[in-house]
Amino acid sequence: MTDIAITGIGCRFPGARNTSAYWKLLMSGERQFSSVPAERWNHGTFHEPGNHSATQAAYTDQVAFLDGVDRFDALHYGVPPARARAMDPQHRLMLDVTREALDDAGMGRGGFERENTGVFFGISVSDYKDLMAAPLRAISLAEQEGAADGSFDRRAAREQAQRFGAVQSFTLPGSLLNMASGTVSRQFDLGGPSFAVDAACSGSLVALDQAIAQLHRGTCRIAVVGGVYLNLTPDSLIGFSRLRALSAAGVCRPFDAEADGFVLGEGAGTVVIRPLADALAAGDRVYAVIKGIGSANDGASPGPLVPTAEGQLRAMRRAYEDAGVPPSSVGFLEAHGTGTAAGDRAEIEALRRLRTEWPDDDPSLCYLGSGKALIGHSLSAAGIAGLIKTALVVHHRTIVPQPRTAPHPDLGVAAAGLRFTETPRPCADGNAPLRAAVSSFGFGGTNVHVVLEERPAPAPARPPVQSPVQSPVQAPFPAAGAPRLVLLSAGSPRLLDRHIGEVLDTLEALDPADRPPLGALAHTLGGRGPLKTRLAIVADGTEEFIGRLRRARRQLEDGARGDLGDDAFAAEAPLPAAQRRIALLYPGQGSQRPGMMRDLYEGFAGFRTAVHALGALAGTDAAG
């Protein structure tokens, strides 16, 4: 397979509102389980603790839900209020996390092949559709009840149903599953293939498989891949209780002797992927490289919801064959890990068989994890949660801890050459590249396994540019030593203050020797699509920038705007287009100093391209 790079990430998971917070959560190993929040529904009506046979109630109230799923900045996306109200919150979440992933990939300002960018999402259910259709269901039920004795009053039923709301023109398109991907393609003007995949819990990794196939076929050059799940009604909690798949203790303990099921979670996530060669040529930051992917179905199994080791093993074998590497080369494996008896047993059996098929290799160096122990089982978003986690493990070269686990003795975890860690561990250095893997298995028996690898070592640095016209060197930002303009923006002064705080927290948490050069920081922040409230700072280095950013933050808190002094300027909104002016300065003929405009040449691809084109013309004319 052609290596595929993960270059951008956006996500929302319980206790983590973005990628940075998700990594902190993974490093902390803190569980995010709590009672069903009152704003979802009154769970007391549907809660019967200890009653596993209740037909209309759940025996648990423990979940891992997202906060603020009803909040959406419709104005930012130009979505009319009526349409925004009719949009499934899952679609709105995917808009947000896709925007963040594109920003993270350096594509927030555009400049990429939009018409050749595809969108592939895993999504299985829409509780919002059920809520929006409640008025119609109310009328239908009233009619059924009154049919026997002729007491049905259509007008009265409609008036009664009106209390639940009304079906609007955007209700149908706002709740269709395919509109999750369609809405994202429309919002960001992406012209590649765009569709939703329903493979239950493995849906988002099946979407990844489809995206990679499209990249190989050349039907798109870039892909946005993700998954989402929100639980807005008690239906799923009650349904999984009837299956006895949920933990009665309210704690998900994958592979543990006390495991008794999973905790229902939520989440949304996307990744931006493209061929590795394209990512390296563009100077992209690469979180991890997808080396191989395999999918399969359980085939004939004891039941529609009963997993089989043979089906999972089939998917994993295909993934390693696709990657061209042995399973023993993987140092971390993010398992599906639901904490159910049947699921854990089938998964460990498949892993044990997989890792003992290569007797010449040492299979004892792999750490095992499952994020469901922290954020619950987010169904169609579970695969993307695992993929993002594993990509971050590779990127940071750190194995994240798993909550204390006493493996069930009947599983034979040690015999599979697997172990758990309760504390973060640096990935082992070796001659081979760092590798990790992630599994996702779905109801209905669809299994997916993905093999990841660290990005290749950068090529040796090229010699310094001697002549702007003659050299094709492409630098993402000017060489060190020159002043940098750094732009921070947000949707409001309050959000800008939070953004400034996040930047400061990130930089100040690093040892000064490990802080990124200011040119890299300016390049990253400048690649985001600018929002209306902005702060611009000029500085010579990272330490100077941190000091000026702290000072500017205090001034903004005091209400200062405009020229803040100390090479900083702030505004709550850009000038209206009619008031903007551009000044062009022509200093005269010829070069005033050696290396004039070299910073522009090294830092801006458009300027560099124009120089090359003009230089070629000048050379042709001279030769003629």
Rounded Cα distance between 142 and 187, Å, is: 40
Question: Which of the 8 DSSP states describes residue 576?
Answer: P
Question: If pLDDT is split at 50, 70 and 90, which confidence band does 286 have?
Answer: very high
Question: Which of the 8 DSSP states describes residue 292?
Answer: E
Q: What is the pLDDT of residue 361?
A: 54
Q: What is the pLDDT of residue 469?
A: 41
Of the listed ranges 285-299, 371-385, 526-540, the least confidently predicted one is: 526-540
Of the chain, the end-to-end C-alpha distance in Å amounts to 48
Q: What is the pLDDT of residue 169?
A: 75
Of the listed ranges 145-154, 240-249, 584-593, the least confidently predicted one is: 584-593
Question: If pLDDT is split at 50, 70 and 90, which confidence band does 297 have?
Answer: very high
Each residue's pLDDT tens digit, 135-192:
777 767 777 777 666 776 677 767 666 666 677 777 788 889 999 999 999 999 999 9
Q: What is the pLDDT of residue 622?
A: 40
Residue 605: HSE in the Cβ half-sphere, 13 Å Cα cutoff? 9
Q: What is the pLDDT of residue 357?
A: 80
Is the pLDDT at 571 greater than 50? The verdict is yes
Each residue's pLDDT tens digit, 8-32:
999 999 999 999 999 999 999 999 9
Each residue's pLDDT tens digit, 79-133:
998 899 889 999 999 999 999 999 999 999 888 999 999 999 999 999 998 888 7
Q: What is the pLDDT of residue 13?
A: 98
- Name the architecture of domain 484-579: 2-Layer Sandwich (3.30)
Q: What is the pLDDT of residue 422?
A: 94
Pair type for strands 4-12 and 34-35: unpaired
Closest to 351 in 3D by CA, of 298, 442, 416: 416
Q: What is the pLDDT of residue 157?
A: 64
Over residues 556-572, mean pLDDT: 94
Q: What is the pLDDT of residue 538?
A: 95
Is the pLDDT at 467 greater than 50? The verdict is no
Angle at 274 between CA 272 and CA 278, to 5 degrees: 135
Q: What is the pLDDT of residue 160?
A: 67
Coil/strand/helix, residue 155: helix
Each residue's pLDDT tens digit, 590-617:
566 777 777 778 777 778 888 888 888 8
Q: What is the pLDDT of residue 146?
A: 72
pLDDT > 70 fraction of the chain, expressed in percent and rounded: 91
Over residues 435-439, mean pLDDT: 97
Question: If pLDDT is split at 50, 70 and 90, which confidence band does 311 have?
Answer: very high
Q: What is the pLDDT of residue 366?
A: 92
Q: What is the pLDDT of residue 365?
A: 77
H helix and E strand count, the chain: 21, 20
Structure tokens at 194: 């765009």
Q: Where are the beta strands (DSSP E) in 240-357?
A: 264-265, 267-275, 288-297, 332-334
Each residue's pLDDT tens digit, 480-491:
567 899 999 998
Note the maximum CA span of the chain. Answer: 100
- The model's pTM is 0.88
Q: What is the pLDDT of residue 620?
A: 53
Q: What is the pLDDT of residue 472?
A: 38
Rounded Cα distance between 565 and 113, Å, is: 40
Rounded Cα distance between 71 and 524, Å, is: 27
600 vs 77, higher pLDDT: 77
Residue 615: C-alpha distances to residues 405, 472, 592, 609, 621 (Å): 65, 12, 18, 10, 10
Q: What is the pLDDT of residue 608?
A: 85
Q: What is the pLDDT of residue 479?
A: 53
75 vs 34, higher pLDDT: 34
Is the pLDDT at 468 greater than 90? The verdict is no
Q: What is the pLDDT of residue 582?
A: 83
Q: What is the pLDDT of residue 545?
A: 95
Is the pLDDT at 473 greater than 80? The verdict is no
Structure tokens at 327: 């399973």
Q: What is the pLDDT of residue 362?
A: 54
Give the DSSP letter string of 540-597.
Answer: SSHHHHHHHHHHHHHHHHTT--EEEETTEEEESSPPPGGG---------SS-SSTTTT
pLDDT averaged over the chain? 89
Q: One fold for both 7-126+176-453 and 484-579?
A: no
Q: What is the pLDDT of residue 142?
A: 72
Over residues 617-623, mean pLDDT: 58
Domain at 7-126+176-453: CATH code:
3.40.47.10
Question: Which of the 8 DSSP states describes residue 47?
Answer: B
Over residues 367-388, mean pLDDT: 98
Each residue's pLDDT tens digit, 221-236:
999 999 999 999 999 9
Q: Hey, where are the domains in the chain?
A: 7-126+176-453, 484-579, 582-624
Which residues, 6 or more positions from 276, have their beta carbon under 8 angstroms from its beta carbon?
2, 3, 4, 5, 286, 289, 455, 456
Pair type for strands 62-64 and 34-35: antiparallel
Q: What is the pLDDT of residue 428?
A: 85
Q: What is the pLDDT of residue 259?
A: 97
Of the listed ranges 184-193, 300-309, 312-321, 461-470, the least confidently predicted one is: 461-470
Is the pLDDT at 444 greater than 80? The verdict is yes
Structure tokens at 27: 């490093």
Residues recorded for the chain: 624
Q: What is the pLDDT of residue 149?
A: 67
Is the pLDDT at 380 greater than 80? The verdict is yes
